[in-house]
């Protein structure tokens, strides 16, 4: 090789090194900036799942509130049938405690129609209506009402009143069950989604880690051809096939990529690959 040609090549190489210095710094800055991506991704997943979970709970609470309001309105429409069975229910489950209650005592319902009696009646009705969401949505209460319907210990009037109340109970409790099952289904789906996203985040983190380990040699800034073989500039260092960069051996250099090998692993890195 003539001295003039060698000098020309050296000038070209030096110029390439100066030009690629800016590109190397820019690429390295991008690598550093992306080093925290897995951690940020994990935080985003947690925030996203938390928001979704809160959304599920908000929908569930609104549905329960709507159901409770509907049950209360149905109790009002049932009127005396509901009030009588509600009283029977409390007498059956609370016994003496209910009998000793001032406005739940059965004997007060047979007093004269005085102002005090009407006040007591209003208190019973008000308390029974506000308790509708507990009474009509309680499976145990339904069992007791069904017992009243099928028992000969109660009058035909009371037993007939159970029919409409049981219909409301069945409809309301079926709706409640559906709402609860839907909430559980949505929470299970969310748990699966969270697990899936975390698995992907871990895979991304492992990929980033492996990529970081494999790319310790730096960034391929430039590839040139000297009429015989390709040469490359990696982190401002001129290298050829067989050379080492930070412990990684260069297996080959092509027009747009460099093949490396380190610790038994080989990979290909393109120009400015991050």
Say how far apart CA 162 and CA 158 lie, in whole Å: 7
Q: Encode pLDDT of 219-271 as tens digits.
A: 788 888 776 788 888 877 888 899 998 888 999 999 889 999 988 888 888 88
Q: Encode pLDDT of 26-54 as tens digits.
A: 444 444 444 455 567 778 888 889 999 99
pLDDT of residue 194: 87
How many domains does the structure of the chain reveal?
2
- If asked whether residues 30 and 102 sit together in one domain, one would say no
- If asked whether residues 72 and 169 sit together in one domain, one would say yes
Is there a domain that residue 112 lies in?
A: yes
- If asked whether residues 77 and 160 sit together in one domain, one would say yes
Range of the domain at 248: 9-46+217-270
- If asked whether residues 225 and 141 sit together in one domain, one would say no
Is there a domain that residue 232 lies in?
A: yes
Say how far apart CA 56 and CA 191 lie, in whole Å: 12
Q: Encode pLDDT of 152-209 as tens digits.
A: 888 888 899 999 999 999 999 999 999 999 999 999 999 998 888 888 778 767 766 6
E strands, the chain, are 220-225, 230-234, 237-239, 244-245, 248-253, 257-262, 265-270
CA-closest candidate to residue 212, choices 174, 262, 176, 251 = 262
Is there a domain that residue 107 lies in?
A: yes
pLDDT of residue 45: 83
């Amino acid at each position: 090789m003539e001295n003039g040609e060698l000098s020309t090549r050296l000038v070209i190489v030096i110029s390439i090194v100066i030009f690629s210095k800016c590109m190397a710094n820019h690429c390295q800055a991008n690598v550093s900036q992306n080093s925290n991506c897995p951690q940020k991704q994990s935080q985003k997943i947690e925030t996203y799942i938390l928001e979704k979970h809160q959304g599920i709970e908000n929908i569930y609470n609104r549905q329960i509130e709507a159901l409770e309001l509907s049950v209360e309105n149905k109790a009002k429409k049932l009127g005396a049938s509901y009030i009588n069975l509600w009283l029977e229910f409390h007498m059956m489950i609370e016994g003496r405690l209910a009998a000793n209650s001032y406005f739940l005592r059965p004997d007060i319902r047979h007093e004269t129609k005085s102002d005090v009696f009407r006040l007591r009646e209003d208190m019973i009705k008000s308390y029974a209506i506000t308790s509708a969401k507990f009474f009509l949505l309680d499976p145990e209460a339904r069992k007791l009402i069904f017992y009243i319907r099928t028992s000969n210990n109660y009058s035909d009037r009371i037993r007939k009143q159970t029919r409409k109340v049981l219909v409301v109970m069945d409809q309301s409790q079926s709706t409640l069950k559906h709402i609860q099952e839907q909430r559980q289904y949505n929470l299970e789906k969310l748990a699966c989604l969270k697990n899936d996203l975390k698995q992907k985040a871990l895979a991304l983190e492992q990929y980033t880690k492996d990529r970081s380990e494999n790319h310790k040699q730096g960034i391929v800034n430039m590839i040139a051809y000297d009429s015989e073989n390709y040469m490359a500039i990696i982190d401002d260092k001129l290298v050829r096939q067989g050379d080492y960069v930070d412990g990684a051996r260069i297996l080959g250099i092509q027009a747009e990529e460099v093949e490396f090998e380190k610790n038994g692993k080989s990979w290909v890195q393109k120009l400015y690959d991050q």
